[in-house]
Structures are given as structure tokens and as C-alpha cells.
Amino acid sequence: MLRTIAILLAATVSTGAQIGQSFPHTNKYGRATIEYRHEGLGVVANYDYSQRNHSGPWLLIDVALGSAERFVLHRTNFRLVAPDGQTIPLASQQQGQADIENINLLIQNAKIHRQNLDSYFAQRDRHEAFNFFSLPFVRSISDEAIVDNDRVAQGPLLFRSPNGSWKEGTFRLVLTNDKAKAELPIALQ
């Protein structure tokens, strides 16, 4: 029994070390929550549902951001890079409208798996919600949000697979902005 626990612990530490080497400045919490902290920028991503449910065309990744330096976050600042190097942009509103039934099903199925990411930030009492997509019960769509040290900017990201489903492997969630850059591992199992 002790040998089994030691082997499992060694595998967990090894996996954590591999993530740390490939994705500096990141920490993994639980199955599918990853945090990036570097030079005043904090980004937390959670993808509990999508980690094991990716046979359909859509991935849902909830993100929250805070920054010591104020910047404007745009929907074009996010992309996903597949293990083979293919870059997948954030889905467009038109793509979402064309497949609203599958998005509604995804949101409904993921509901119990989604987490509040406020607790990762000191400024958790003030929010800047961004809604890059028209989702059920969300009436407004935005193209940008303010990221700052006095608020937590948060919202869902939707990516559509070019092939109709997602393969297992470690993807990179990339944030690129003039004032903020981060890469977080998104491991699909």
C-alpha cells in the first residue's frame, strides 16, 4: 500500500514538474484548473467539463484575469495551440450562432463542473465580466474588457474544433496583448 502511494505521489510530482518546465510560471490545482502568475499578471483557467468531454466540436474554458498594469483585453487576444502546432482562434459569434444547439448543450452539461475563479485573486470583490459570445441567459456581447489590479476580469472562452472534435493531448491557451502575455496548458484526456 505504501509503495503504491509513493508511486502515485512520484507520478504526480513528475507531471507537475513537466508542466512547470513546459509552462513556466504556472501551477495546477485539481484536475483542470491552471494558474499563471508572472510580472504582475494573473490568469486562471478552468476546463473541468471539457477536459474529459471533448468528442464534440466545442471546448469551454472559463478564465479570470488580474494585472498590476491596466490593459484592455480583446477577444482576439486569445487562441489555442494544438499539440501539432495548429492555431485555433477563439470562435466567432457567427460560428456560435450557427451551432447554438450544441453550445446550449455544452453550457447545460458543464454547469455543475464550472467553478468561481474569484478566490485566486485579492481583488475578488469587484468584477469585470466579459461576454465574447451570446450564451443562454446572457443578453450582452462585448469585444473587450478592462484588466486591472482593482477588479477580476472573467468570462467563458469557446473554441470550435476545425475537425469536429478534439484529440487528447496538451494544448496551449495563449493570451497575447501589448501589455500581457501568458501560456497555460490545457490537457484533454
pLDDT of residue 64: 96
Q: pLDDT band at residue 140, thresholds of 50, 70 and 90?
A: low
| Mean pLDDT for the stretch of residues 16-25 | 66
Beta bridge partners of 71: 147
Please provide the distance, in angstroms rounded to a whole number, between the alpha carbons at the two ends of the chain.
27
pLDDT of residue 5: 38
Give φ, ψ of 34 to 5 degrees: -130, 140
141-160 exposure pattern, b = at least 16 Cβ within 10 A, e = fewer: eeeebebbeebbbbbbbbbb
Percent of the chain past pLDDT 90, that is, above it, reads 62
pTM of the model: 0.85
Most confident of 50-59, 97-106, 127-136: 50-59
54 and 188 Cβ atoms separated by less than 8 Å: yes
pLDDT of residue 60: 96
64 and 154 Cβ atoms separated by less than 8 Å: yes
56 and 72 Cβ atoms separated by less than 8 Å: no
- Give the contacts of 135 (CB within 8 A, at least 6 positions apart): 103, 107, 156
pLDDT of residue 1: 45
Percent of the chain past pLDDT 70, that is, above it, reads 84
- Continuous H helices in the chain: 2-22, 48-52, 93-98, 100-110
Measured distance CA(89)–CA(95) in Å, rounded = 12
List C-alpha distances in Å: 182 to 95, 165, 178, 185: 26, 25, 12, 10
pLDDT of residue 136: 57
pLDDT of residue 94: 84
Q: pLDDT band at residue 21, thresholds of 50, 70 and 90?
A: low
pLDDT digits (tens, 9 = 90+) for 107-128: 899 999 999 898 899 877 788 8
Mean pLDDT of the chain: 85
Q: pLDDT band at residue 137, thresholds of 50, 70 and 90?
A: low
Q: Looking at residue 83, what DSSP letter applies?
A: T
pLDDT of residue 42: 96
Specify the CATH number of the domain 26-188: 2.60.40
Q: Which of 166, 162, 181 minimizes the C-alpha distance to 67?
A: 181
Q: How many CA atoms lie within 13 A of 21 on its CB side?
A: 6
Burial of 127 (0-12, 13-18, 19+ CB in 10 A): middle
pLDDT digits (tens, 9 = 90+) for 44-94: 999 999 999 999 999 999 999 999 999 999 999 999 999 999 999 999 888
Q: Which of 181, 173, 182 minimizes the C-alpha distance to 47?
A: 173
Q: Is 11 helix (H, G, I), strand (E, B) or coil?
A: helix
